[in-house]
């Protein structure tokens, strides 16, 4: 403990995270802060150039509304999101992001991101809302703009944010530790933006030792946003709405370009198109089963029914799709050229964002123009920015939010001074990389205003900070004090190492909360048992032991995941129906119920150490 220096950093606005939402927040906050003489600080657990979900790059920008080009209206986008989430969405938040997202995309292009253009100079669309990009360096470009706006001296990298600081009901900062130096950080601020991404590896991944760590979403997004907002006492929403994407099997390559750009279909092992043969099933999920495009979870569901019936493997019919594109021209020379073009686009799609899928194709001698590739449903993730919805419950924008959804500052949680964006904000799905950046900008403008209008901070109790420092660093002490008592440091009755803890959490979630091995199925009985076991795991979290700073990071990542897991199980239990069968299926409540067309929210009350479950109405703005 005495080896750890305490470093105190004061600012007006504190941005937690360095991903898409945080980078958007940085650019906007810097602008408004300069006008008002305020200081903005950003903290990322990793290096901003390659941190977060966009680390490897992306091959598409998934949210572009094209309002000025007359392509779509804001209402079109809200309709799309509402339908995809089976009616459960905050229209005011979705509309607010949709009306700002195009300008964010134009900023990306100005900063140097290559967006595909056709012969007339118009953006090339992957689908109605998606634009094709050469996105290998997407994150580097976006991070550079953020760092330039803030100034290098205001950016703290490789500092892991662990816990919120809350005084008199207001969030006044955060504490964390460096993952490279013996430094304990105390960040004090007038307003705080949580943008630390979603949560991965809460559930057991499909791959074991041979591919451990491989997942669709980045394993280093480990539930920090959810933990931070829950522990601050903020109301959370849609904690049951996990996301299960369908991806190329084992290496998690994206499917969007195949379905939308190349117009591919997927079939089962018998060659049947489950979207056709299983169509009658969609009637059961009316009205959402009838909309176009079919909601993501229902597309999953139809596929899962085939898998349950033993009709796998499921294939993306790449060879048929490429064949059909090439067959559009009869000239042999043009055909050859087209084939080459599509082939290279297909490989680039993976190389831009999921390099391991290209490696797997190479390793398995896969020529997409010759043979199909397997696809599969991934393990569940918590991500408020894609087709899931979990996150904090936020105030909407004053001009369009129903009054029940507005409490003074856009994108503020129910805790004064604490804002959220991107994966950290709930019930505003389908923002992806571009919408998360736009939402970060929205949250930042509001957070600067909060800092300007609320300059007097409550006093921060030093004893509280000392207690947090002791608790946060305890795993190092526990390991150090006991490691010599056994032959193998992994086996010791005095502590549990983070990897063992992670396996226990994942097994529990997999078996009781509807993971891969139970076909995403759970029930009241299973969830109650799971919660009982989770309570015991939480007891053991007090005994996590860490040999190094890196392991200390792993310990706290796991504690963050545990709280996300608990919020999830409690909310699935609370929602007395099945609404997203392709995300999870309640075997004891197998259908959707009209009286559950509401938000299922929850709040953890830190002083009483109690959870409260809350139903909130869905208020439409269109």
Which of 22, 95, 165, 326 lies at the binding interface for ligand SFD (CB under 6 A)?
22
Pairing of strands 191-194, 13-16: parallel
The answer to the question of residue 254 lying near ligand AMP (CB under 6 A) is yes
315: nearest Cα among 358, 269, 284, 260: 269
DSSP string, 93-131: HHHHHHHHHHHHHHHHHHTT--B-B-TTSPBPBSSSS-E
Mark 43-62 with x for binding to ligand AMP (rule: CB under 6 A) and - for no binding. Answer: -------------------x
From candidates 260, 392, 569, 600, binder to ligand AMP by CB under 6 A: 260
**Site membership for ligand SFD, residue 160 (CB under 6 A):** yes
Residue 222 Cα distances to 43, 115, 205, 551, angstroms:
16, 30, 14, 14
Provide the minimum distance between the beta carbon of 582 and ligand AMP in the complex, in angstroms, as a whole number: 12
Q: Any alpha helices (H) in 167-223, and if so which ranges? A: none
- Kindly state the tokens that stand for 134: 């050469």
Q: Which one of 349, 423, 510, 566 is the catalytic residue?
A: 349
DSSP code per residue over 260-303: IIS---EE-TTS--HHHHTGGGGGGGTTGGGSSSPPHHHHHHHH
Q: Is 89 in the site for ligand AMP (CB under 6 A)?
A: no
- Give the total of residues touching ligand AMP (CB under 6 A): 13
Q: Yes or no: say if 472 and 4 are a contact pair by the CB < 8 Å rule.
A: no
Interface characters, 123-142, with ligand AMP (x: CB under 6 A): ----x--x------------
State the binding partner of 44 from ligand SFD, ligand AMP, none, CB within 5 to 8 A by kind.
ligand SFD
Q: Is 326 in the site for ligand AMP (CB under 6 A)?
A: no
SS3 170: strand
Tokens standing for residue 220: 């280093």
What number of residues does the chain have?
A: 622
Can you tell me the distance from the alpha carbon of 135 to that of 414, in angstroms, rounded to the nearest whole number?
A: 36
* Binding partner of 17, given ligand AMP, ligand SFD, none, CB within 5-8 angstroms per partner class: ligand SFD
Minimum distance of ligand SFD from residue 436's CB (angstroms): 4
β-sheet bridge partners, residue 449: none
Told to judge if 331 belongs to the known catalytic residues of this protein, a careful annotator would answer no
* Contacting range for ligand AMP; rule: CB under 6 A; set: 19-27, 292-300, 393-401, 597-605: 292-300
The site partner of 260 among ligand SFD, ligand AMP, none (C-beta below 5 to 8 Å per kind) is ligand AMP
User: Is-contact 159 173, C-beta < 8 A?
Assistant: no
Q: Which stretch binds ligand AMP (CB under 6 A): 155-163, 233-241, 249-257, 510-518?
A: 249-257
Instruction: List the one residue from 13, 27, 40, 58 that touches ligand SFD (CB under 6 A).
Output: 58
Residue 575-594 contact track with ligand AMP, rule CB under 6 A, x = bound:
--------------------
138 binds, among ligand SFD, ligand AMP, none (CB under 5 to 8 A by kind): none
- Can you read off the two tokens belonging to residue 327? 């067959």
**Exposure on the CB side of residue 373, measured as CA atoms within 13 A:** 29
Q: What share of the chain is helix, strand, coil (3-state, %, to 5)?
A: 45, 15, 40
Which of ligand AMP, ligand SFD, none does residue 293 bind (CB under 5 to 8 Å by kind)? Answer: ligand AMP
Q: Is 20 in the site for ligand SFD (CB under 6 A)?
A: yes
Q: How far apart are CA 264 and CA 277, in angstroms?
A: 17
Q: Residues 11, 51, 62, 191: which is the catalytic one?
A: 62
Residue at shortest CB range from ligand SFD: 19
Question: 216 an active-site residue?
Answer: yes
Known active-site residue 62 = yes
Of ligand SFD, ligand AMP, none, which one does residue 422 interact with (CB within 5 to 8 Å by kind)? ligand SFD
User: Are 434 and 62 contacting, i.e. CB atoms less than 8 angstroms apart?
Assistant: yes
Among 145, 189, 196, 255, the residue binding ligand AMP under the rule CB under 6 A is: 255
Contact 545, 479 (CB under 8 A): yes
As annotated, the active-site residues are: 62, 126, 216, 247, 349, 386, 433
Binding residues for ligand SFD, rule: CB under 6 A, are 16-22, 43-46, 51-54, 58-62, 160-161, 195-197, 216-218, 221, 224, 254, 256, 353-354, 385-386, 422-423, 432-434, 436
């Amino acid at each position: 403990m005495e080896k750890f220096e305490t470093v105190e950093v004061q600012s007006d606005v504190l941005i937690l995270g360095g991903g898409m939402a945080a980078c958007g927040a940085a650019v906007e906050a810097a602008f408004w802060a300069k006008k008002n003489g305020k200081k903005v600080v950003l903290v990322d657990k990793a290096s901003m150039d390659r941190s977060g979900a966009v680390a490897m790059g992306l091959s598409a920008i998934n949210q572009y509304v094209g309002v000025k080009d007359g392509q779509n209206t804001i209402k079109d986008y809200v309709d799309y999101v509402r339908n995809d989430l089976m009616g459960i969405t905050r229209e005011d938040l979705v509309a607010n992001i949709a009306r700002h997202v195009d300008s964010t995309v134009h900023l990306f292009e100005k900063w140097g991101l290559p967006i595909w253009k056709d012969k007339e100079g118009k953006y090339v669309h992957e689908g109605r809302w998606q634009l094709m990009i050469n996105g290998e360096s997407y994150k580097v470009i976006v991070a550079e703009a953020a760092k330039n706006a803030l100034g290098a001296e205001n950016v703290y990298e490789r500092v892991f944010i662990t816990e919120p600081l809350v005084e008199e009901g207001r969030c006044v900062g955060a504490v964390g530790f460096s993952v490279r130096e013996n430094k304990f950080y105390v960040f004090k601020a007038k307003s705080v933006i949580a943008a630390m991404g979603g949560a991965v590896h809460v559930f057991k991944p499909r791959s074991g030792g041979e591919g451990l760590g491989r997942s669709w979403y980045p394993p280093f997004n480990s539930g920090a946003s959810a933990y931070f907002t829950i522990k601050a006492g903020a109301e959370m929403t849609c904690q049951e709405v996990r996301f299960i994407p369908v991806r190329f099997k084992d290496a998690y390559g994206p499917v969007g370009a195949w379905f939308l750009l190349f117009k591919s279909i997927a079939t089962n092992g018998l060659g049947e198109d489950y979207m056709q043969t299983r169509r009658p099933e969609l009637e059961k999920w009316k009205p959402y089963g009838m909309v176009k495009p079919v909601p993501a979870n229902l597309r999953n569901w139809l596929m899962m029914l085939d898998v349950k019936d033993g009709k796998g493997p499921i294939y993306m019919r790449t060879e048929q799709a490429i064949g059909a594109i090439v067959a559009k021209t009869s000239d042999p020379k043009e055909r050859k050229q087209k084939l080459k073009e599509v082939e290279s686009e297909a490989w680039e799609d993976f190389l831009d964002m999921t390099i391991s899928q290209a490696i797997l194709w190479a390793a398995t001698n896969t020529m997409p123009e010759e043979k199909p590739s397997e696809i599969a449903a991934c393990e569940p993730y918590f991500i408020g920015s894609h087709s899931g919805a979990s996150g904090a419950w936020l105030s909407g924008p004053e001009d369009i939010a129903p009054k029940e959804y507005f409490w003074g500052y856009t994108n503020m949680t129910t805790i004064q001074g604490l804002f959220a964006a991107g994966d950290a904000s709930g019930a505003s799905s389908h923002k992806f990389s571009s919408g998360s950046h736009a939402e970060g900008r929205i949250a930042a403008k509001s957070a600067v205003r909060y800092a300007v209008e609320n300059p007097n901070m409550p006093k921060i109790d030093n004893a509280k900070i000392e207690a947090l420092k002791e608790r946060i660093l305890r795993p190092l002490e526990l390991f150090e004090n006991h490691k010599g008592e056994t032959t193998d440091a992994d086996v010791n009755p005095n502590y549990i190492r983070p990897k063992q803890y992670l396996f226990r959490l994942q097994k529990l979630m997999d078996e009781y909360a509807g993971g891969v091995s139970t076909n995403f199925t759970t029930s009241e009985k299973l969830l109650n048992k799971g919660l009982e076991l989770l309570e015991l795991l939480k007891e053991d979290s007090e005994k996590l032991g860490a040999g190094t700073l890196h392991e200390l990071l792993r310990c706290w990542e796991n504690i963050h995941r545990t709280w996300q897991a608990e919020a999830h199980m409690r909310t699935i239990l609370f929602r007395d129906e099945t609404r997203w069968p392709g995300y999870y299926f309640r075997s004891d409540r197998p259908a959707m119920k009209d009286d559950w067309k509401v938000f299922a929210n929850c709040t953890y009350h830190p002083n009483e150490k109690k959870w409260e479950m809350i139903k909130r109405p869905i208020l439409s703005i269109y």
